Amino acid sequence: MSTTQSGPRFDVETLRRGIEGRDASALRGLYAEDARMTVVDRRDQPSHPHELTGTAAIGEFLDDACGRDMEHQLGEVVVSADGSHAAYLEQCRYPDGTKVLSTSMLDLRDGRIMSQTSLQAWDEEAEGTRAQGAAAAARAERLDFSRPDEVRTFPHGRAEIINVGGGAVGRLVLEPGWRWSKDVKPLAGTEWCEAPHFQYHVSGTIRIRMADGTEFDAKAGDITVLPSGHDAWVVGDEPVVAVDWQGAVHYAEKA
pLDDT in tens, 93-111: 888 788 888 889 999 999 9
The 10s digit of each residue's pLDDT in 167-177 is 788 899 999 99
CATH 3.40.50.300 fits 150-244, yes or no: no
Q: How deeply is 126 buried, as exposed, middle or buried, from its count of CB atoms within 10 A (0-12, 13-18, 19+)?
A: middle
Candidate CATH numbers 3.40.50.10310, 3.10.450.50, 3.30.750.200, 3.40.50.300; the one for domain 12-136: 3.10.450.50
Whether pLDDT at 196 is above 80 = yes
Q: How far is CA 3 from CA 7, 11, 80, 139, in A?
A: 12, 19, 9, 56
Burial of 131: CB neighbours in 10 Å, binned 0-12, 13-18, 19+: exposed
- For the whole model, what pTM was predicted? 0.50
The whole-chain average pLDDT of the chain stands at 86
For CATH 2.60.120.10, the residue range(s) in the chain are: 150-244
Measured CA distances, 5 to 2, 112, 124, 243 (Å): 10, 14, 41, 49
Q: Per DSSP, which regions of 191-239 are E strands?
A: 197-203, 205-210, 215-218, 223-226, 230-235
